[in-house]
Structure 1
Amino acid sequence: MSRPFQERLTNIEKRLEELTKLIAKKQENIFDKVIIDNDEFQRLFKISPGTAANWREQGLIAYIQINHKIIYKIKDINKMLDDNYRAFKK
């Protein structure tokens, strides 16, 4: 390969790496802000309103309450799942 071609290729690779990092960072920021309401949370986990209330009272899941509306950040749901993960034992 000629030197100018190799330099252009290297520049393209560097730019692709930068763009990949930028996209990954933006996706993380968007994901952190995604929320679902209490009805969606109950449907997702197939639980009753009482179970959802118990989980909140026990501190198993973080939530936001504005007046009577309860919402959850997806980030907090993932944290609850990670905190309660039990690895398979052979």
Structure 2
Amino acid sequence: MTAIELITTEDLRIFKRELLDEIKRIVQVDGSSSTNKWLKSIEVRKLLKISPGTLQNLRINGTLSFTKVGCIIYYKLDDINKLLEGGLQ
């Protein structure tokens, strides 16, 4: 027989805090390191001077890698710089 564990609301709050901390660590929104800086779609479109459709095509054909957190898509600044230099494949 398997023991039953109850999950309390405090357990869920702790899990939420840990999850948010981990997401922040991965995304590093603060941009403390230029190689790990992540940009949102609108920032990438302004930087590259492209339309939303063009950015979507870059994602679809694999030209520009991305990470999706919830409903927000993030792009590495380093990857964008490589794309601009013609070195990203």
State TM-score, norm by structure 2: 0.56
The equivalent position to 2:33 in structure 1, one of 30, 37, 41, is: 30
5+ residue gaps, structure 2: 1-31
SS in 2 for 1:44: helix
4+ aligned runs moved over 4 Å, structure 1: none
Paired-residue identity, %: 33
For 2:78, the equivalent position in structure 1 comes to 75
Q: 1:67 deviation in Å? A: 2.1
Structure with higher Rg: it is 1
Tell me how far apart the structure 1 counterparts of residues 65 and 39 of structure 2 sit (CA, whole Å): 12
5+ residue gaps, structure 1: 1-28, 86-90
Q: 1:84 deviation in Å? A: 5.3
- Matching residue's letter, 1:33: N
Tell me how far apart the structure 2 counterparts of residues 78 and 43 of structure 1 sit (CA, whole Å): 14
- Matching residue's letter, 2:81: N
SS in 2 for 1:47: coil
Pairs aligned (count): 57
Tell me how far apart the structure 1 counterparts of residues 86 and 48 of structure 2 sit (CA, whole Å): 16
- Cα RMSD of the aligned pairs, angstroms, is 2.0
State TM-score, norm by structure 1: 0.55
Determine if the alignment matches structure 1 residue 66 to structure 2 residue 73. no
The equivalent position to 2:58 in structure 1, one of 33, 55, 64, is: 55
